[in-house]
Structure 1
Amino acid sequence: MLKLLITRPLPERVVAACEGFDVTVRADVLPMSGDEMRASLRDYDVVLPTLRDMYSAEVFADVTAPRCKLLANFGVGYNHIDVVAARAAGIEVTNTPGAVTDATADIAMTLMLMVTRRAGEGERLVRSGAWTGWHPTQLLGMHLSGKRVGVLGMGRIGQAIARRCHYGFDMAVHYCSRSPKEAVMETTWHASPAELAAAVDVLVVAVPGGAETRHLVDAEVLQALGPQSYLVNIARGDVVDEAALIAALEAGEIAGAGLDVYEYEPEVPEVLLQRDDVVLLPHLGTAALEVREAMGLVAVENVCAFLDGRELPNRV
């Protein structure tokens, strides 16, 4: 019987779908230690890891002839796994695209509305007991409808964000990707992140994580965005140079930011915690039961395909 390790607690429906395997569900909600990851490669046929289980090249190098032959990642992002090193060790890697698209796009819209309409500030004001009632100039923000959105990364999630912005809020869609893409709505392509930032009112980061996109949003991009515009990041934390973001906020070079991810997650710089012009969410991108179930079932399907000797549906 295939021996499977699930590295974090998952919804009951997902665990139940694994009933044909010898399953161990690790009870800890925190990421695995290096020793735990090395043991997982030695002791299990398949591991179902997730965000912040850092399967680095060093981890793979320390385990000769690993028993594990598949890392069935729970999540679309897999920059916590050194895929090249995994393959060199004879281990395949899969992910769960598609299942996360709409939920992550919804969180992008949540952050866009919260930061432009100052909803976080307003909620804190009410909770503080200091609210004295409505008046005409209280917490004036930016009206999102009809504005220009810039989508950095026009993959599945980027396109879902673009659709919501255009059809839901009548926004003009600008985007940056390696090459222009066909779209069902009118769009404007930009050749660089800085060029995109200079053209929009809200810049939404939706690129994959990894070495190629680390600090893609840097001081130049933030300066191009300008003092009346906002940054939203629902991708990976290190796509945004966090130090440059803090400097831009403190200098008034951008109007505000909405963040669901952080460069050194779960650490959030104190200066961001103290700023009213920043909305901070605890990585809620896919945090809906039906979405997490769907992600888990895609991961299990990858495991089943591996067991049956079929082509892996979501090989990365």
Structure 2
Amino acid sequence: MSKPIVLVTRKIPEAGIDFLKQLCEVRGATEATPIDHETLMKSISDVDALLCLLTDTIDHAVIEAGSRLKVISNYAVGFDNIDVEAATERGIMVTNTPGVLTEATAELTWALIFAVARKIVPADKYVRDHQFSGWDPLLMLGYEIHGKTLGIIGMGRIGQAVAQMSVGFGMNIVYHDCQSPKLDLGSSVRSVTLEELGQLADIITIHVPLTPQTHHLCDADFFRLCKPGALFINTARGPVVDEEALVEALKERILAGAGLDVYEHEPAVHPGLFELPNVVLLPHIGSATYHTRTNMALRAAQNIIDAVTGKRPAYLVNPAVLNKLAL
């Protein structure tokens, strides 16, 4: 029997490719840059599985071109880059890689909180530019974290991990989520409306997926409600935030600072953000640790192996597809 054919759209950690090669014929996985849509359309007609990244747009046209596709395995937790409805209609399983990047993304959230609050980036530049001439009681004054109120928008795996990491800082936590958290986070944690969160939180951090309901969840109206001097952090998805409104809120000093790992029109960054000294900008590295990225590759590969061998993948995001399949 011929091996199932897997198209991998971009280089990923080698452990995932080696795992796939035990059972499958692997194509692609050689380029460091995203595959363009036209090339993807030409490459997918005879493959059984697609391992894609969040930088790949897997739209209705791609899904129709993949006439043999059994599974689309997204190397990411979010799957807003995939037309899941079209895949389900065609009987194609869609999977993702949750869980393995929770701690890494939560840690980066805290790195951004501290970088913004304590002016780490401008302080580093100050020293490198040979401006440091000695201790000064008014030099690079920032904001303390201890005892402040942390507002978490989205209390899923990552939001809960961020909350747990705050325990040592004696923080109060308010959160907004359409579902109740599964963990007991103590009496200092309470659920509030989005408007109340903006009014109460000294630090606001985003951890929701991108859906039609969360698009521009944080807009001009939200920022106008925010507590003056709050810090704003986004390590989730860029379009959850109206970037134009964020820039205005920072310019008007409604917000004291922001830390961003994702952008509304990624990889483009709103030009106004470059002009603001109270903003830390990162290149979407929330899950960028050796351990996490390798485990994401292995999980994405395992999802494919399960699908092409007739098993239900553990991380299936469209279970309705099972009505069309004999699994």
TM-score by length of 2: 0.92
Query: Could you tell me how far 1:211 is from its partner in structure 2?
Result: 1.9
Q: Which residue of 2 aligns with 1:173?
A: 173
- Contact persistence 1:78–1:95 (CA under 8 A): yes
Unaligned runs of 5+ in 2: 318-327
Aligned residue type for 2:49: V
Q: Secondary structure at the match of 2:53?
A: coil
Q: Which residue of 2 aligns with 1:9?
A: 11
Q: Which residue of 2 aligns with 1:43?
A: 46
* Cα shift readout 1:253-281 (whole Å, capped 9, x = no counterpart): 11110000001111112221121100111
Residues 1:31 and 2:34 aligned together: yes
Q: Which residue of 1 aligns with 2:63?
A: 60
Q: What is the root-mean-square deviation of aligned Cα atoms in Å?
A: 1.4
- Contact persistence 2:12–2:29 (CA under 8 A): no
Q: Secondary structure at the match of 2:312?
A: coil
Q: Secondary structure at the match of 2:21?
A: coil
Which protein has greater RCO, CA pairs closer than 8 Å, 6+ apart? 2
**CA 149–124 in structure 1, closer or farther in 2 if over 3 Å, else same:** same
Query: Could you tell me how far 1:196 is from its partner in structure 2?
Result: 0.9
Q: Secondary structure at the match of 1:212?
A: coil
Query: Could you tell me how far 1:222 is from its partner in structure 2?
Result: 1.3
CA distance in 1 between counterparts of 2:295 and 2:258 reads: 30
CA distance in 2 between counterparts of 1:145 and 1:75 reads: 33
Q: Secondary structure at the match of 1:211?
A: coil
The aligned runs of 1:142-291 (5 Å cut-off) are: 142-165=143-166, 167-181=167-181, 183-186=184-187, 187-191=189-193, 193-291=194-292
CA distance in 1 between counterparts of 2:68 and 2:311 reads: 19
**What is the count of residue pairs matched by the alignment?**
312
CA distance in 2 between counterparts of 1:299 and 1:59 reads: 19
* Cα shift readout 1:162-202 (whole Å, capped 9, x = no counterpart): 1001x2322111100114435232211112x2221111100
- Contact persistence 2:152–2:206 (CA under 8 A): yes
Aligned residue type for 1:233: N
- Contact persistence 2:119–2:142 (CA under 8 A): yes
Aligned residue type for 1:264: H
Aligned residue type for 1:119: I
Unaligned runs of 5+ in 1: none
How much identity, in percent, do the aligned residues show?
36
CA distance in 2 between counterparts of 1:10 and 1:242 reads: 30
- Contact persistence 1:223–1:254 (CA under 8 A): no
* Cα shift readout 1:34-54 (whole Å, capped 9, x = no counterpart): 222323431211010011201
* Bigger shift: residues 176-185 or 280-289: 176-185
* Cα shift readout 1:225-247 (whole Å, capped 9, x = no counterpart): 23211100010000010000011
Aligned residue type for 2:288: A
Q: Which residue of 2 aligns with 1:104?
A: 105
Query: Could you tell me how far 1:160 is from its partner in structure 2?
Result: 0.4
Q: Which residue of 1 aligns with 2:83?
A: 82
Q: Secondary structure at the match of 1:213?
A: coil
TM-score by length of 1: 0.95
- Contact persistence 2:49–2:73 (CA under 8 A): yes
CA distance in 1 between counterparts of 2:149 and 2:110 reads: 14
Query: Could you tell me how far 1:251 is from its partner in structure 2?
Result: 1.2
Q: Which residue of 2 aligns with 1:115?
A: 116
Aligned residue type for 1:95: N
CA distance in 2 between counterparts of 1:258 and 1:32 reads: 29
